[in-house]
């Protein structure tokens, strides 16, 4: 060798005279979420590029992290990049994310929206995110609560709406999203950072009236009117019930 090392690429590792220094087959997905929020991640795999094999869905079940998000939530998930099923080499294709948050104590008092992370062999530069020197890449989003009333008691229920943002918090179109190439992933950290909008808004137009200290619910034809649109009547309002059972006349402060 005359003191010269020779190196060659082989299967994603570097082969030296001393052997092969292989890369890890995992990366970490994590999230920085507002209090009371949690994510559920479902990971999907497809045959690697150039493979002609197929695997039935029952043999390629998508792993799910934080399925029991209410009671067993963990922010960090170790994600496998490549795996083999029935002799077929598979690679990660996407992570589908459910962003969930509770606003009351009953099981149905929660809202949810979605986010996605995609993985490809190659990406156009404009879609590919970079990693910091510490090996972390962050994508961003903002969620907002939309409120409405439902049922005979006009009980407050909420809808969670999440949009992607840039690092400065400027809203974009669509849900939170990011994309990476497979060779970026080994040993790295992908983080989803979600903030919560300071103000909530009505889920349905022309049903609430903005007043200096909150929102008042239009009465409609009568209290039994489930739609209760304002239709220009901004004088007759109704009470409503908070998720915790309080009877209120203004949202969110309850009493005027």
pLDDT over threshold 70, residue 2: no
Q: Is residue 5 part of a domain?
A: no
Residues 97 and 216 in one domain: no
Note whether 34 and 63 are same-domain residues.
Answer: yes
Please tell me the distance from the alpha carbon of residue 104 to that of residue 111, in angstroms, as a whole number: 10
**pLDDT tens digits, one per residue of 20-75:** 558 899 999 999 999 999 999 999 999 999 999 999 999 999 999 999 999 999 99
**Does 116 lie in the same domain as 65?**
yes
Q: Is residue 12 part of a domain?
A: no
A 10 A CB-CB count for 65 gives: 20
Are 222 and 182 part of one and the same domain? no
Distance CA 55, CA 46 (A): 8
Q: How confident is the model at residue 5 (pLDDT cuts 50, 70, 90)?
A: very low
What's the distance, Cα to Cα, between the start and end of the chain in Å?
86
Of 163, 178, 196, the position where a domain reaches its end is 196
Do 64 and 176 share a domain, yes or no? yes
101 and 227 belong to one structural domain: no
Per-residue pLDDT at 181 exceeds 70 = yes
Q: How many domains does the chain have?
A: 2
Clarify whether residues 177 and 208 are in a common domain.
no
Do residue 177 and residue 95 come from a single domain? yes
pTM: 0.86
Examine the domain organization and report whether 46 and 78 are in the same domain. yes
- The answer to the question of residue 11 being in a domain is no
CA gap 22, 43 in Å, rounded = 23
**DSSP track, 160-188:** EEEEEE-TT--B-SSS-EEEEEGGG-TT-
> Does position 10 have pLDDT exceeding 80, yes or no?
no
CB 239 within 8 A of CB 246: no
Q: Name the residue range of residue 60's domain.
A: 24-196
Judgement on whether residues 183 and 212 belong to the same structural domain of the protein: no
Say if residue 131's pLDDT is above 80: yes
């Amino acid at each position: 060798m005359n003191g010269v090392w020779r190196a060659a690429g082989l299967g994603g590792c570097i082969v030296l005279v001393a052997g092969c220094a292989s890369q890890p087959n995992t990366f970490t997905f994590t999230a920085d979420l507002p209090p009371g929020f949690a994510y559920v991640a479902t990971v999907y795999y497809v045959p690697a590029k150039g493979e002609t094999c197929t695997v039935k869905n029952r043999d390629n079940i998508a792993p799910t992290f934080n399925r029991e998000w209410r009671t067993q939530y963990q922010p960090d998930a170790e994600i496998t990049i490549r795996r083999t099923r029935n002799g077929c080499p598979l690679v990660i294709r996407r992570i589908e994310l459910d962003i969930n948050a509770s606003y009351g104590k009953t099981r149905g008092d929660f809202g949810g929206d979605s986010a996605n992370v995609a993985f490809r062999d190659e990406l156009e530069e404009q879609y590919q995110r970079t990693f910091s020197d510490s090996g972390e890449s962050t994508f961003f989003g903002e969620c907002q609560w939309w409120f409405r009333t439902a049922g005979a008691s006009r009980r407050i229920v909420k809808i969670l709406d999440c949009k992607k943002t840039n690092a400065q918090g400027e809203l974009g179109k669509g849900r939170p999203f990011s994309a990476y190439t497979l060779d970026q992933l080994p040993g790295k950290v992908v983080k989803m950072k979600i903030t919560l909008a300071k103000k909530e808004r009505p889920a349905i137009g022309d049903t609430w009236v903005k007043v200096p200290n909150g929102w008042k619910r239009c009465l409609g034809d009568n209290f039994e009117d489930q739609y209760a649109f304002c239709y220009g009547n901004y004088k007759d309002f109704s009470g409503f019930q908070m998720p915790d059972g309080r009877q209120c006349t203004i949202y969110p402060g309850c009493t005027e």
